[in-house]
Amino acid sequence: MIEPKAPTASFRAAMLARDVPGVLAATTPGVVLRSPITDRFSFRGHRQLGELMADVFVVVEDIHYTDDVGDARTRSLTATGRAGDVALEESVLVRLDEAGLIEELALFVRPMPALVALAAELGPRVARRRGRARGAVVAGMMKPLAFVTRSGEGLGARLARP
């Protein structure tokens, strides 16, 4: 269910329009995005969030929101999309300040092949901002994991299916 007048409506609209300034306008200057890929670091503030969203809009396609529920301070968004040719489902826990601006986003992505495909595409882009070599190292680490996860998922599911 999507509430048309939800406090997160402008954020959703900016995401669908792939509008980085619009995403930032819906957030506080000190916004924190908690990655679905790692808990080793978060993206903090408009600069880091803006850089990340520019990369996300290159990697994630066909975003479609299916739910936006909650109250004035806490919302839950669910969406579908694709990372490359891998379908993904995303859930976002959104915390808002008293003015209705987003101060925290905690993302969760499923299924595992989609999360790994997202990490394999997004990780090197994020790392490359700190140097080409870092991007190459992250790509070298993630591409084999994405291949194994994606190719093994079908067999693993068949073997484990109840």
Residue 32's domain comprises: 9-160
Strands 60-70 and 27-34: unpaired
**Residue 38 belongs to a domain:** yes
In tens, the pLDDT along 115-145 reads: 999 999 999 999 999 999 999 999 999 988 8
**Residue 75 belongs to a domain:** yes
In tens, the pLDDT along 24-79 reads: 999 999 999 999 998 999 999 999 999 999 999 999 999 999 999 999 999 999 99
Which of 115, 105, 94, 95 lies closest to 46 in space, CA to CA? 105
CATH of the domain at 101: 3.10.450.50
Domain count, the chain: 1
Structure tokens at 2: 């999507």
pLDDT given for residue 13 in this prediction: 95
**Residue 36 belongs to a domain:** yes
**Residue 2 belongs to a domain:** no
Flag whether the pTM goes above 0.75: yes
**Residue 3 belongs to a domain:** no
pLDDT at residue 4 above 80?
no
Contact 35, 118 (CB under 8 A): no
Q: Give residue 62's region: left, alpha or beta (phi > 0; psi -120 to 50).
A: left
**Residue 62 belongs to a domain:** yes
